[in-house]
Amino acid sequence: MLVGEEDFDAALITLGEAQGPCVVDTETTGLRPFHGDRICGIGVRIGDVRRYFPFRHGEGPNLPESFIPAVWDTLKLHTR
């Protein structure tokens, strides 16, 4: 499910409550973050729950980059 600003909080709650293996896929502009490459999107699957958070796509709506830490904080719940 593509996550927009209006359903961002609900998506984080759903991921936080999901059970099962956690898989994260980051889309980037390249492999050199110290040379300007950045995250474009974060795909997450936890059990049967799938969410995609777009941040810097050329087409369609994007989430504010300030939302990235909230996604990571939610994913930390599944590393314990």
Q: In what order do the strands lie in the sheet with 39-46?
A: 22-28, 39-46, 49-54
Confidence category of residue 58, pLDDT binned at 50, 70, 90: confident
**pTM, to two decimals:** 0.87
What is the rounded average pLDDT of the residues 29-39? 88
List, in sequence order, the alpha helices (H) in 1-80. Answer: 8-17, 68-76
pLDDT at 71 over 70: yes
Confidence category of residue 80, pLDDT binned at 50, 70, 90: low
- What is the predicted pLDDT for the residue at 76? 87
